[in-house]
Amino acid sequence: MSIFVGRDSRVLVQGITGRDGSFHARGMKEYGTKVVAGVTPGKGGTSLDGIPVFDSVDEAVARTKANVSVIYVPAPLAQDAVYEAVDAEIPLVVCITEGVPVRDMIEIAAYLHGKSTRLIGPNCPGLITPGECKVGIMPGFIHAPGRIGLVSRSGTLTYEVVWQLTRAKMGQSTCIGIGGDPIVGTRFVDALAQFEADERTDAIVLIGEIGGTDEEDAAALIEEHITKPVVAFIAGQTAPAGKRMGHAGAIVSGGAGTAAEKIARFERAGVPVAKVPSEIPALVANALARRAKKAGLKVVMGGRAAAAKHGAKKRAAKAGKKATKPTVRKSAPKKAASKKKSVFKKKAGAKKGRR
Amino acid sequence: MNLHEYQGKDVFRAGGIPVPPGEVARTVEEAETFAARLGFPVVIKAQVLIGGRGKAGGVKVVKNGQEFTREAGRILGMDIRGHAVRKILITPAMEIEKEFYAGIVLDRKYETPLLMVSPAGGVDIEDVARQTPEKILRLHLDGRGLPVYRARAAARFLDPRPKVQKQLANVISRLADIYYSQDCSLAEINPLVVTPSGEVWALDAKVVIDDNALDRHADLADMRDLGAEDPGEVEARERGLSYVRLDGSIGCVVNGAGLAMATMDLIQFHGGKPANFLDIGGSSNPDKVTAAMNILTRDQRVRAVLFNIFGGITRCDDVARGLLAALDRIGTKLPIVIRLTGTNEKEARELLSARGMTALSDMDEAVRSVIARAAEAA
């Protein structure tokens, strides 16, 4: 089911009768998401466009078997809403709410240790597996089903990149907005590991920004464990130090968390970093084409052993061929291309070592 | 939200940390009365919401009235890196035997606050971390806060004398309590001093409060010093916009923080200079667009304005309506370049073309265009 959400997702909306909750519950339903329940304390027994509303998450889960919860409650109530969903043992909780105090998130993060629930957000657009399930606030129509995984700390910048990918005929397996706060439930490293294991993802786009060190951690993980091509972009390259750029987490403090550091770290890990968002589709196409070429060579040279993995390679080759159509070599900078070659050697080696 | 030193000291004092007496003055005359009351020598400290005031000459020990009047006047007229000094703190000069550092920040990676203490106080802690990292002790706080035994361990790292350790442990425990209870994102004492007689005092206070938590701290929210902030940033916050003033000449109006950052990066990439970061947020309220235009048109440095809107939940036609309403009200002559993509793009284009305006759909193209228009207008 791509990652985190798909056809089997049964979505519960916490705060469904509020202004944002009702608007987006309808939007998700229109997209084709199975929105099975809503929760607003005191409004149990009512319904919204045929979606039954319950007083508590427990009751909603018992009655509708919801397995995803999406939270649209105001910031002062968000911590309690997350606790309620976690205590009801919902496997995936997506908190859209912006403005949750950091202390509330420190407490949530501690509470989540050892629990089976995964939290995405807060302060995020949610996630979408195009053509199957949308959980959040993103405009569905800009997405297309496909094989590129995308993970981002941003909202509208993600839409921008998704739109460019879609226009370049690169559909997406799943797009996840992990949120712009200093503490979030799911980080780049978590999403990368999931995309790596996902059979329906061929390449990954990572959109980071200034503040914190999650991008650096992602680069370290890519170096060691990710075999699929990753392309990155970092927003805030020209942000002044000490100023919060909209997102609570987007701040360069004490000289740490700069875009330059993050870009350098990705480049050291062999990850091509787009200078501008419009460069991303070409970099992805380029990476996929190289991977397909490499895979093709291996089939010839590796004989039977390689044939066992043929299925996966064929897919990669197919996606690569498809992707090479738009403008690849022309716009991809030579520097990135030559760099990727060495990366590939390294990655192939790492792969061998693990097997 | 950054607090002034004197405000941070009030928070410390209320939380049980020993802070020397001090009074805030806005005029030299006011300051003179306070100094006379405290008795010389005193320290005059500029109250600005920016670091490095000591190096800039904004902190001065004075020994007599004549010197005081001169220095108080000088510091009150200072401009420290764009921050005009409007208030000074008058506090007694203390004899100092040792200077320590104690601070708590959020460790984003470990999702919990981190206490740092160092016997190398009175200097920039980032320099200590780079040059002599062994002189910093780091202890994470957790669900229990900071247990007292850990505060004692931190105190032992700073000073060998039991009598001093006891006071230091108390200060460190209190600092941890304040960090949690006041929703700080930074609480720092530098320097934390010991006097020759063995007394411990917090001589400075750097406190940053989590903006998202101000709703539950009315007393702290009231401390916001609007006069010390950029007027554009003050107005933007009141209107629910997120605005940061930058150095350039191209005004930006963007929906979403990530896209707004990418837009200012793209302007620099293509050779221009953004005048600001401005996120009108995810809503479709035309009033926000008007408020944004108000801020930008008042900024004398702005030569051209770029709208970069990716319609998702924000509807392009609402932004177009907001822009047209703003133009009716303000009537600016500034060149405006508009980029619209996404929800209700077509309706937005129709609204704009009825007024003789066109919108681009590509972000790079829009950025190159606004740079050219700004250059023509300059």
B172 and B294 both lie in a single domain: no
Which of B246, B261, B273 is most worth mutating to test chain A (most A CB atoms within 10 A of its CB)?
B261
DSSP class of residue B49 equals S
Distance CA A155, CA A235 (A): 12
| Domain-terminating residue out of B53, B70, B92 | B92
Residue A42 pLDDT > 60, yes or no? yes
The answer to whether residue B1 is domain-embedded is no
Helix (H) or strand (E) holding A178: none
B250 and B373, same domain (yes or no): yes
Residue B2 domain flag = no
Structure tokens at A242: 């000490």
B153 and B169 part of one domain = yes
pLDDT score at A302: 39
Backbone angles phi, psi at A105, to 5 degrees: -75, -35
Cβ–Cβ < 8 Å for A66, A12: yes
How close is the nearest chain B Cα to the Cα of A294, in Å? 33
Overall number of domains in chain B? 3
CATH number of the domain that residue B87 is part of: 3.30.1490.20
pLDDT at A326: 38
* Half-sphere exposure at residue A180, Cβ-oriented, CA atoms within 13 angstroms: 27
Residue B10 lies in a domain: no
Query: Which residues in chain B have Cβ-Cβ distances shorter than 8 Å to A255?
Result: 126
Greatest CA span in chain B, whole angstroms? 80
C-beta separation of B233 from B357 below 8 A? no
The residue out of B92, B117, B137 marking a domain boundary is B92
C-alpha dist (Å) from residue A182 to A214, A248, B175 = 10, 6, 21
Contact B262 A235 (CB under 8 A): yes
Minimum-distance CB partner of A138 among B274, B312, B362: B312
Question: Residue B195 is encoded by which pair of tokens?
Answer: 């006097």
Task: Please indicate, yes or no, whether residues B184 and B240 belong to a single structural domain of this protein.
Answer: no
Cβ <8 Å between B257 and A245: yes
Interface of B with A in 183-242 (CB under 8 A): 183, 185, 210-213, 215-216, 242
Within-domain flag for A276? no
DSSP B123-166: S-HHHHHHH-GGG-EEEE-BTTBS-HHHHHHHHHHH-S-HHHHH
- Within its chain, how far is the Cα of A106 from the centroid? 22
Q: Do B262 and A182 touch (CB under 8 A)?
A: no
CATH of the domain at B107: 3.30.470.20
Neighbours of A191 (CB within 10 A): 24
At B155-192, the pLDDT tens digits run 999 999 999 999 999 999 999 999 999 999 999 999 99
Q: What is the pLDDT of residue A334?
A: 40
Residue-number span of the structural domain to which B263 is assigned: 231-377
- Confidence at residue B283, expressed as pLDDT on a 0 to 100 scale: 62
Which residue range(s) make up the domain with A104?
Answer: 1-123
B259 shares a domain with B175:
no
**Number of residues that make up chain B:** 378
Enumerate residues 144 to 163 of chain B having a beta carbon within 8 A of any beta carbon in chain A.
none
- B291: Cβ contacts below 8 Å, ≥ 6 apart: B235, B236, B239, B241
User: Of A318 and A115, which is predicted with more confidence?
Assistant: A115
Residue among A65, A117, A84, A62 at smallest CA distance from A15: A84
Instruction: Give the residue from A28, A77, A156, A178 with the most B CB atoms within 10 Å of its CB, the best one to mutate.
Output: A156
pLDDT of residue B313: 75
DSSP H/E element including B84: strand B83-84
Query: Does the pLDDT at position B58 exceed 90?
Result: yes
Looking at the structure of chain A, the number of domains it has is 2
Quick one: DSSP state of residue A141?
G
Taking CA–CA distances from A207, the nearest residue in chain B reads B258
Radius of gyration of chain A (CA): 21
All residues of chain A having their beta carbon less than 8 Å from the beta carbon of residue B177 are none
Mean pLDDT of all residues belonging to chain B: 93
Domain membership flag for residue A94: yes
Asked if B111 and A154 come within 8 Å (Cβ–Cβ), the reply is: no
Kindly state the average pLDDT of the residues B262-277. 96
Tell me the whole-structure pTM to 2 decimals.
Answer: 0.88
Please state, as a whole number, how many other Cβ atoms lie within 10 Å of the Cβ of residue A201.
Answer: 21
What is the pLDDT, as a whole number, of residue A250?
Answer: 82
Q: Do B112 and A212 touch (CB under 8 A)?
A: no
Interface of B with A in 294-353 (CB under 8 A): 310-314, 341-343
B115 within some domain: yes
Residue B325 lies in a domain: yes
B55 and B109, same domain (yes or no)? no
Choose among A6, A347, A355: nearest CA to A199. A6
A244: chain B residues, CB-CB within 8 Å: 211, 244
pLDDT above 70 covers a percentage of chain A that reads 83
Cross-chain residue pair B142–A156, CB shorter than 8 Å: no
Nearest CA to CA, how far is B126 from chain A (Å)? 7
pLDDT band at B4 (very low <50, low <70, confident <90, very high): very high
Q: Which residues have a Cβ under 8 Å from the Cβ of A38 and sit 6 or more positions away?
A: A12, A13, A14, A16, A17, A21, A25, A48, A51, A52, A53, A54, A60
Q: Which of A24, A113, A225, A247 is catalytic?
A: A247
Domain boundary among B92, B119, B140: B92
| A138: in domain | no
- Across the A/B interface, how many CB contacts are shorter than 8 Å? 165
Q: Tell me, yes or no, whether A70 lies in a domain.
A: yes
Q: What pLDDT is recorded for position B326? A: 87
Measure the CA–CA gap between A77 and A95, rounded to whole angstroms.
Answer: 11
Examine the fold and report which residue of A95, A123, A151 is the final residue of a domain before the chain moves on.
A123
pLDDT at residue A339, rounded to an integer: 39
Stretch A138-165: mean pLDDT, rounded? 96
Q: Based on the domain organization, do B62 and B121 belong to the same domain?
A: no
pLDDT value of position B31: 96
In this structure, are B319 and B191 located in the same domain? Answer: no
First-to-last CA distance in chain A? 25
Would you say residue A51 lies in a domain?
A: yes
Specify the CATH number for the domain of residue A104: 3.40.50.720
- Closest partner residue to A182 (CB to CB) among B106, B126, B258 is B106
Q: Is B40 on the interface with A (CB under 8 A)?
A: no
Q: Which of A123, A144, A164 finishes a domain?
A: A123
Answer whether residue A192 is part of any domain.
Answer: no
- Each residue's pLDDT tens digit, B332-364: 889 999 999 988 899 999 999 999 999 999 999
Q: Distance (Å, rounded) from C-alpha A167 to C-alpha A162?
A: 9
Q: Which residues of B are catalytic?
A: 101, 188
Average pLDDT over every residue of A213-240: 96
How far apart, in whole angstroms, are the C-alpha atoms of residue A43 and residue A21? 14
Domain check: are B289 and B325 in the same one?
yes
* Interval B194-239: pLDDT, tens: 999 999 999 999 999 999 999 999 999 999 998 888 888 888 988 8
B18 vs B171: CA distance, rounded Å = 8
Which residues in chain B are closer than 8 Å to A211, comparing Cβ atoms?
A: 108
Say whether both B335 and B318 belong to one domain: yes
DSSP state of A273: B
* CB nearest B258 (choices: A100, A109, A155): A155
Give which of A112, A94, A259, A123 is closest to A181, Cα–Cα: A123
Distance of alpha carbon A171 from alpha carbon A317, whole angstroms: 16
Of B212, B258, B274, the CB nearest to A157: B258
Give the whole-angstrom CA distance, residue B3 versus residue B191: 17
pLDDT of residue A43: 96
Higher pLDDT, B282 or B75: B75
Cis (ω within 30 of 0) for the bond into B191?
A: yes
In chain B, which residues have their Cβ closer than 8 Å to the Cβ of A102? 106, 183, 185, 210, 212-213
Q: Which H or E element spans position A289?
A: helix A280-308
Instruction: Find where tokens 């020990």 sit.
Output: B61
Strands of the sheet with A126-129, listed across from one edge = A133-136, A126-129, A172-177, A145-152, A203-209, A230-235
- State which amino acid sits at residue B99: E
**Residues B217, B254 within the same domain:** no
Question: Which residue reads 């080696």 in tokens?
Answer: A349
Among chain A residues, CA nearest to B264 = A238
Contacts of residue B160, Cβ cutoff 8 Å, sequence gap at least 6: none
Which phi and psi angles does A353 have, rounded to 5°?
A: -60, -35
Overall average pLDDT of the B268-276 stretch: 96
* Residue range A63-113, pLDDT digits in tens: 999 999 999 999 999 999 999 999 999 999 999 999 999 999 999 999 999
pLDDT of residue A310: 44
ipTM reported for the complex, 2 dp: 0.92
Residue A236 lies in a domain: no
CATH code of B319's domain = 3.40.50.261
Q: Which of A107, A157, A238 sits opposite B268 (nearest CB)?
A: A238
Summarised one tens digit per residue, pLDDT across range A289-346 is 988 888 776 544 433 443 444 444 444 444 444 443 333 333 334 444 443 333 333 3
Hey, are the CB atoms on B258 and A213 less than 8 Å from each other?
no
DSSP classification of residue B274: B
Residue A27 token pair: 């939007």
Of the candidates B257, B363, B364, which has its C-beta nearest A154's C-beta? B257
B85 and B127 share one domain: no
Instruction: Determine contact: B130 vs chain A, CB below 8 A.
Output: no
Question: What is the model's pLDDT at position A315?
Answer: 45
Of the candidates A154, A189, A185, A184, which has an alpha carbon nearest to the alpha carbon of residue A175?
A154
- Which two structure tokens, joined as six digits, stand for A355? 């097997």
